[in-house]
Structure 1
C-alpha cells in the first residue's frame, strides 16, 4: 500500500547520514510575568507603578461592579498615587481657611487686653476673647466648607481618571472642574436649602402642635413623627443628596439633572448605598476624632495651666486650626473618593459603563 514502511512511495529517498528532525517550536509562556517596567498590551503608557494588573484593571479599580473591599482599596490607591490632587488640595483649602481665624485672633490678642479678670461681661478681656475666638472659627469653618465643595469636585475627576490608569496633578484636577464650578456651588446651595427646608418645616409643625394640642396628643405626635422624619432624612440623604456631585462633575450636567441622575442611580440600590455610606461616615468620623485628640488635649492643658494668659485664646485657635487641617487631610479625600467610586459602581451595574472605561483605557 502507498505509504507502507515495507513499500515506500515512488521517488522516496532515505535521509542523509546524521540528519536530525527540526526541534518543535516553543510554546508561548502565557502565564509568564512581564519584565520589570514593561507595560502589558492594551495598557496606557505612563501608568503609576503598582497599578498594572489584569486587562480588566488598568487603574486603581477593576472595571466591573465593585464590592466594598474594591471601593476602600481603590480609594486608598487613588489617594496614594494622586496625593497632591487629593490630600494636597484638602490641606490647602483647610490651611487657607483656618489661617483667617488665626490672623484675626492674633490681631485681637496684640491690640486688646484679653487677660481674664474674673468677670463674664462681653466687654471684658475674657468676653472679647470668647467672642473673637468663636467668631473667627465660625468664619474659617464656613470658608473651609465652601472650599471643600471644590475639593470633592476635583476628587471626582481624579477617581474617574484613576479608573483608567491616569494620574492627575493638582493643576490638572482643578482645570478639569472648569465650566462646572458655579454649577457645583449651585448644587450645594440647592441641596442645603432642601435639607434645611425639611427641618424648618418639621419644627414649624411641632410648634403648632405644641401650642394647640393637648399633652397626650403632643406625645403621640412625637412618637409617630420623629422616627418617620428621621427615616425621611435618611432616604433623602441616600436618594437625593449622596451621588449628584460626581454625576455633575463627570457627566458635566446641570444642577437639577445631577440630582435626578443620583436619584435614578440609587434606585433599587438604597440599602447597599446606605450601608456603604454609613460605614464610611463611621470610619472617617472615628479616624477624624482620633487625629484631633492631641490638639484637643493640648488646648485643655493650656486652659488649665495658664487660664489668665493673654495668649490663651490665640493658642486655642491655633491648636483648633491645626486639628481641623489634619482631620480634613484624611476625611475629605477618602469620603469623596468612596462616593465617586459608588457612582462609578452604579453606572457599571446599570449602564455597562465598564465597557466605556475599557475603551478609554485602550483595552479592546
Structure 2
C-alpha cells in the first residue's frame, strides 16, 4: 500500500539489485548454551586459526584470553553474567569488598565495635567500682567471682548483640552484591537504605531458622534421654552408632537446602520468610554437592583466616594473665583484647562469607532461571 515501509526479504535484496540504504545482513543464529564453540581444528584452537599459534595471539582476541572463551559473557560489574565457577565467586567476593569497603567491611566493623563496647564498658565499671583482685585466701573471693561473672556475662550479651547486628550486615552485603553484579557501587548509607522494608523479615527469618534447628536438637536429645533410661546398654550403643551419623547427615542437608540461601533470596527478591526458605530449597535442588562444597570450603577458609587474625589478641590476653595475674585491671585488659580480636575477625569473615553465599544465589538463578538476561537488562545491555 502507498506509504507502507518496504522491508527487504529475509534472505537479502534480490540478486543483481543494490541493497536499500541501511540494509545489513542478518546476524547468525545464537549458539545455545554456555559451552565452548564447536572445534573443527586442533583441540583448544578456534575454527579457522592456525594450530601452532599460541593462545592470546589469535586475531581479534584480547591478550591472555584462554581457549574456548570466544563467546565471553558481558561483565558490567563484579561478575561475568553467566554461570559462575568457584574462581569467579572468590574473585568477585574480593572485588566487591575492595570496591565497596564501607558497605561491607565498614558495616561489619561498626556492628562488631558497637556490640563489643558493652562488655568493655561493663567490665570497666566493675574494675573501678569493685576490687576484682584475689584476697589471697584459698577460696574464691567476691572480687574474683564478680570478675568471672561480669566478664563472661557481658561477653555473652555482646556476642548475642553482635550476631543480630551481623545478620543485618549479611542482608546489606546481599544487596551490595546484587548491585555490584550490574556495575553499581553502594555506600554504607545506600546499602542500609536498600534493606528498608526487609529488616524485620530478616530478623524473623533468623528466628524461624533458629527455632527449626533448636527444635530438631531438642527432639534428638529427648530421644537419647528416653533410650538411655528405658533401654539396655547394647541398644543404647546401637542407637548411637545408627543415629549420630544420621543426625549429622540431616544437619548438613538442612544447612545446604534450608539455611544457606534464604537470606539473599529474601533481600534480593524482597519476598516473605517462608517464601525465602522455599526459594533457597528450590535453588539448591540437584545442586546439593556443589553448594555444599563451595559453602564448606568458604567456611574452612574464613575459619582459618579469622583464627589467624584474632590469634595475636588471644596470645596477648594470655601473656597478660601470666605476667600480672593479680592486677586490678586484668579483667578489663582481657575483655578489651577479646573484643578487639572479635572486631578484627568479623571485619573479614562476615563480608566474605555473605558475599560468597549471595554469589551462589545469583549463580543458581543464572543456571536455572536465565537470571543473567534480567541482569543485563538492569545494566542497560541490550
- Conservation of the 8 A alpha-carbon contact between 1:116 and 1:307: no
Q: Secondary structure at the match of 2:282?
A: helix
3-state DSSP of counterpart to 1:341: helix
Query: Does residue 1:126 correspond to 2:147, yes or no?
Result: no
Write out aligned runs for 1:214-253 (5 A): 214-253=232-271
Query: Does the aligned pair in 2 maintain the 1:120–1:127 contact within 8 Å?
Result: no
Partner of 1:346: 364
Matches within 5 A, 1:274-285: 274-285=292-303
Contact (CA 8 Å) 2:264, 2:358: kept in 1 or not? yes
Q: Does 1:97 align with 2:115?
A: yes
- Return the match for 1:266 from 281, 284, 287: 284
Within 5 Å, which residues of 2 pair with 1:186-225? 186-225=204-243
3-state SS of 2:326 partner: coil
Could you tell me how far apart the structure 2 residues matched to 1:66 and 1:187 are? 27
Q: Is the 8 A contact 2:182 2:376 kept in 1?
A: yes
Counterpart Cα distance in 2 of 1:144 and 1:297: 23
> Which residue pairs with 2:351 in the alignment?
333
1:143 aligns with 2:161: yes
* Larger-gyration structure (1/2): 1
1:332-351 CA-partner distances (Å, limit 9, x unpaired): 00000000000000000000
Conserved 8 A contact 2:151-2:335: yes
Offset from partner CA, 1:161-205 (integer Å, 9 cap, x none): 000000000000000000000000000000001011111110000
Q: 1: distance between equivalents of 2:248 and 2:278?
A: 22
- 2:138 and 2:299 map into 1 onto residues whose CA distance is 38
1:125 is displaced (CA, Å) by 1.2
Is the 2:120–2:336 contact (alpha carbons within 8 Å) kept by the matching residues of 1? yes
**Aligned partners of 2:350 and 2:339: how far apart in 1?**
16
Separation in structure 2 between the aligned mates of residue 118 and residue 166 of structure 1, nearest angstrom: 63
Q: Is the 8 A contact 2:258 2:281 kept in 1?
A: yes
1:357 alignment partner in structure 2:
375
Aligned residues of 1:119 and 1:126 also touching (Cα < 8 A): no
| 1:13-92 map, 5 Å | 56-92=74-110
- 2:65 corresponds to which residue? none
Q: 1:309 aligns with which of 327, 333, 342?
A: 327
Q: CA deviation at 1:117?
A: 2.3
Structure 1 residue 69: Cα displacement:
0.2
Say what the alpha-carbon RMSD is for the aligned residues.
1.4
With normalisation by structure 1, the TM-score equals: 0.85
In 1: Cα distance, 2:137 partner to 2:159 partner = 29
**What is the match of residue 131 of structure 2?**
113
Which residue does the alignment assign to 1:172? 190
Aligned residues: 315
Kept after mapping to 1: 8 A contact 2:134/2:141: no
Structure 1 Cα separation of the partners of residues 137 and 105 of structure 2: 43
| TM-score, scaled to structure 2 | 0.81
| Cα displacement string for residues 63-99 of structure 1 (whole angstroms, at most 9, x for unaligned residues) | 0000000000000000000000000000000000000
- TM-superposed deviation, 1:55: 6.1
Note the alpha carbon deviations across 1:245-301, whole angstroms, 9 max, x for none: 000000000000000000000000000000000000000000000001100000000
Which segments of 5 or more consecutive residues in structure 1 lack a partner in the other structure?
A: 1-29, 34-53
Which sections of structure 2, spanning at least 5 residues, go unmatched? 1-58, 63-71
Report if aligned partners of 1:97, 1:140 keep a CA contact under 8 Å in 2: yes
Aligned 8 A contact 1:154 1:176 in 2: yes
